[in-house]
Amino acid sequence: MKAVKILQVGTEFGVGGIARHVIDLTHWLREQGHTVYIAGGADALLDSSKDPDFLTVPLATVSASGGGMLSRVMNMLRCARELRRCIQSHPVDLIHCHESAPALVTRLATLGMGIPVAVTYHGSEPERVKAFGRIANQSANIVITPSRRCADELHDIAGVPRSKLRVVGLGVKSAPPSDPKAVERLRAELLGPDGNVLVILLARASYQKGLDILIDVAKAVAQTRSDFRFVVAGIGPLFDEMRARARAEGVDPYVTFIGETHEPYLYLRAADIDLLTSRWEALPISIVEAFRVGLPVIASDAGGVRELLDDEVGAVVRIADVPEFTRQLLRIGSDAALRSRMSEAALARSREDRFDPAFVHGEFEKLYREMVA
């Protein structure tokens, strides 16, 4: 079948699930013979030195981090001009945007060009769903989201027509091997002399990920069990603030902020429980990564979490419900036999087609061909 020329547009490509999703999808599409360019803000995971087909457009200046409204509007116009130049010099059959700022800029950049556009909704705070839907309706032919719950919200709250909505999951690569001795050493280091249960949270230090909730949970758990240890792996705008808060709340003996890691699976394998305290999500990649190593998960009932998680493999907790997070951590953390059963179920679930990158990326390929046709 004929190869397709695709432009993936993201806000920026720092450490995070959206960036990894775009990069993994791009690599797979290129292996199938398609031409794929990526445009957006250069960051830790991707820039023109790492990928010759990366086109630098500072789209983060259009988002909330771009300053006041007038500044953001001017940035949007500048980015649209730059993106249009990129498209003119790198002609494509379709454009796939990720998040609302790229969609807005793409809409302006492609006026009169007739290029079909898709935008993926990767989740947002509830009060922004309607705004995203308005942008998506104006900017894109197709609106993609990885969870059925998010698709329902976009239709019910934001008025996105069902005919424009597509639900396509997120493929997650199999876990790379880890040296068992390295896992043992890391576990011993993180638990220290008095720890017995290790809880890991892989997340950016942002308001979305609810690290303040985690600190409250750790404090509550410590009132019953002093041998739980919590490890937060990730960097972000609230990193220093959350470390200071942990010290102020007196939980720094129990909570360790390690910052950025390039070996997430090493930490997952060292842990007993994966924890996610997010305020909002679409379909968290980190849950599937935990499944890949047989790790039980306790997560907020955000976005499509219930489409991944149930009591066979962990627990779903109402957003910001500190007492229930505490109860579930104590229940699962105190029962090694239960964790073992959940581990086996998580490994089995990780092998389902819906998490297989080749299957999921193939669904995107079908959608792209549909859009071009």
CATH code of the domain in which 95 resides: 3.40.50.2000
* 314 and 248 assigned to the same domain: yes
Tokens of 323: 């007492």
Integer Rg of the chain from CA: 21
How many Cα atoms within 13 Å fall on the side-chain side of residue 264? Answer: 27
Query: Is residue 120 located within the same domain as residue 245?
Result: no
The C-alpha angle 63, 64, 68, rounded to 5 degrees, equals 105
Q: Are residues 195 and 332 in the same domain?
A: yes
Convert 112-127 to b/e letters by CB count within 10 Å (16 or more is b).
eeebbbbbbbbbbeee
Q: Report CA dihedral (229, 272, 195, 330) to the nearest 10 degrees.
A: 70
Dist CA 61 CA 75 (whole Å): 6
Closest alpha carbon to 266 in 176, 366, 140, 368: 176
Predicted pLDDT of residue 291: 97
Phi first, then psi: give them for residue 44, nearest 5 degrees: -55, -40
167 with 242, same domain: the answer is: no
Distance between CA atoms of residues 203 and 234, nearest Å:
5
> Quick check: helix, strand or coil at residue 256?
strand
Residues whose CB falls within 8 Å of the CB of residue 354, separated by 6 or more in sequence, listed in order: 169, 360
**Residues 245, 114: one domain?**
no
* Model confidence, pTM: 0.88
- Mean pLDDT, each 10-residue run in order, the chain (373 residues): 92 82 94 96 86 94 81 93 97 96 96 96 89 93 95 95 94 91 97 97 94 98 97 94 97 95 94 97 92 97 95 98 98 98 97 93 96 93
Residues 301, 367, single domain; the answer is: no
- Cα–Cα distance between 372 and 367 in angstroms, integer? 9
For 25, phi then psi, to 5°, come to -60, -45
Which residues form the domain of 165? Answer: 5-171+356-372
- Residue 45 has a pLDDT of 82
- The answer to whether residues 184 and 164 touch, using CB atoms and an 8 Å cutoff, is no
- For residues 146 and 271, state if they share a domain: no
Total domain count, the chain: 2
Ramachandran bin of 212, using left for φ above 0, alpha for ψ from -120 to 50, beta for the remaining angles: alpha
In this structure, the answer to whether residues 17 and 163 fall within a common structural domain is: yes
339 with 363, same domain: the answer is no
Predicted confidence at residue 124, as pLDDT, reads 86
Residues 331 and 360 in one domain: no
CB atoms within 10 A of CB 59: 28
One domain, residues 157 and 282: no
**What single letter denotes the amino acid at residue 329?**
L
Cβ of 72: how many Cβ atoms within 10 Å?
Answer: 18
Instruction: Say whether both 69 and 52 belong to one domain.
Output: yes
